[in-house]
Amino acid sequence: MPHRHAPQMDGRAITARINALAAITAEPPGLTRVFASPEQLRASALVLGWMRDAGMAVHTDAIGNVVGRYEGATPGAPALLLGSHLDSVRDAGRWDGPLGVVCAIACVEALHLEQRRLPYAIEVIGFADEEGTRFGATMLGSRALTGRFDPLLLERPDDAGITMAEALRSIGLDPAAIAGAARPAAEIAAYLELHIEQGPVLEQRDLPVGCVIAIDGQTRLSVTLHGMAGHAGTVPMGGRRQDALAAAAACILAIEELAGREDGAVATVGRLEAWPGAVNVIAGRVTFSVDVRAPEDPQRLRLVAAIRAAILRIGTNRGVRAAIEQTHELPASPCDPALRRRIAAAIAAEGHEVIDLPSGAGHDAMALAQLVPIGMIFVRCRNGISHHPDEHVATADAEAGARVLHRVLLGFAETTP
């Protein structure tokens, strides 16, 4: 196995690179690295250097994804795409995204050092935006790569009023060229993503790795409630108030109750802004986010419809006008059965029990699933914590994940699907 020859396959080396990336942040001591930012440029430069060192030809595509290519036995062969995202949520954990990129590079380094060539090329992608932290629309990098980027998003402003187009130009990219990032399906054999589980199952089962069955579908809404601002001291309680914040509170509890009735579905209000946001003023306007997920699409769509109806009903009862915008949707994404078999065989060959598990978290693999077969390997993370500074992966588990991914790649040398 590659460990002797490929130092980057060592869990300590993987951890060192994860830590090096975590040091690139806009909000130290926390980790925040958002799309089209100076921090993205610095992280991309670091990763491109690692890709070169592993024997890959590198480039940055039109939306800022970093790409390393390791040719197969026949130049120009379709590629196995590996990778994950390099952006983060605010005050993030350091493993969510980068672990998939760092392990993929380590696997290519192992092949390069052994001068092994597979029937496929291998491309490692560090996606520029999966979380949607800055502009609210997720998977911008993988949507661009699959030709599904919505150019209307270019006019969407961030919290500082900077549009996506302006942000791209500020890092030297041309918004008009994004369509050029699209890759034809014929160039891609499959997409494999290694990612932390972001849940408790592997830890409960005392396993370092697992095989993903499918990724839950997701819908995101942006809800704005228009009430009537007023003096907190003089407007009587009850019908005279058109309190947008009290109406939002009623909506949030209704959303929680509706989702709680659905087995396997979840709904979250993670962000809320009240206007004017003053202690002595009844809120005249509130905007809040809704994130809905479910393993089955009909279930998710029913839940979204019920949530919409509840918001409108609460608004009517409280004299508050509700405007509901859908900002994102991706269908549930099943993993390819042949890739699942390959991943299961690699996990077993590494001496671990094989378990299948769903993903409630979204991943770039959902965008790729609209173009090519996908497979995902989950790696245990401590207490299932993610999207939090306490997110952590044990060195041995990071190495176990890289070794499984490497075995899956070698499996393609033995049997092309």
Would you tell me which residues interact with ligand HGY (CB under 6 A)?
A: 130-131, 138, 361-362
Taking the least distance from each CB to Mn ion, the nearer of 117 and 134 is 134
Burial class (CB in 10 A: 0-12, 13-18, 19+), 136: middle
- CA 174 vs. chain centroid, Å, equals 24
Taking the least distance from each CB to Mn ion, the nearer of 87 and 243 is 87
Cis amide linkage into residue 276, ω under 30° from 0: yes
Contact 148, 366 (CB under 8 A): no
Quick one: what does residue 299 bind among Mn ion, ligand HGY, none, with the CB cut-off 5 to 8 Å set by partner type? none
CB of 285 to ligand HGY, least distance (A): 26
The kind and range of the H/E element at 124 are: strand 121-127
What token pair was written down for 304? 């979204």
CB neighbours of residue 335 within 10 Å: 24
Nearest-angstrom CA–CA distance, 321 and 140: 31
Taking the least distance from each CB to ligand HGY, the nearer of 357 and 361 is 361
Nearest-angstrom CA–CA distance, 252 and 268: 8
Nearest-angstrom CA–CA distance, 71 and 56: 8
Quick one: what does residue 122 bind among ligand HGY, Mn ion, none, with the CB cut-off 5 to 8 Å set by partner type? none
CB of 316 to Mn ion, least distance (A): 36
Quick one: what does residue 15 bind among ligand HGY, Mn ion, none, with the CB cut-off 5 to 8 Å set by partner type? none
Residue nearest to Mn ion (CB): 96
CB of 196 to Mn ion, least distance (A): 8
DSSP assigned state of 366: H
CB of 139 to ligand HGY, least distance (A): 8
Nearest-angstrom CA–CA distance, 150 and 349: 42
CB of 279 to ligand HGY, least distance (A): 33
Burial class (CB in 10 A: 0-12, 13-18, 19+), 58: middle
- Find the distance separating the first CA and the last CA of the chain, reported in whole Å: 23
Taking the least distance from each CB to ligand HGY, the nearer of 293 and 342 is 293
Contact 308, 220 (CB under 8 A): no
Taking the least distance from each CB to Mn ion, the nearer of 97 and 208 is 97
Taking the least distance from each CB to Mn ion, the nearer of 64 and 97 is 97
CB of 219 to ligand HGY, least distance (A): 12
**Closest to 291 in 3D by CA, of 217, 364, 357:** 217
Taking the least distance from each CB to ligand HGY, the nearer of 153 and 361 is 361
Quick one: what does residue 362 bind among ligand HGY, Mn ion, none, with the CB cut-off 5 to 8 Å set by partner type? ligand HGY
CA distances from 379 to 26, 94, 209 (A): 27, 14, 5
Which residues are registered as beta bridge partners of 226?
A: 285, 321
Residue nearest to ligand HGY (CB): 362
Taking the least distance from each CB to ligand HGY, the nearer of 250 and 255 is 255
What token pair was written down for 320? 């508050």
CB of 43 to Mn ion, least distance (A): 14
CB of 228 to ligand HGY, least distance (A): 34
Query: What residues make contact with Mn ion under the rule CB under 5 A?
Result: 96-97
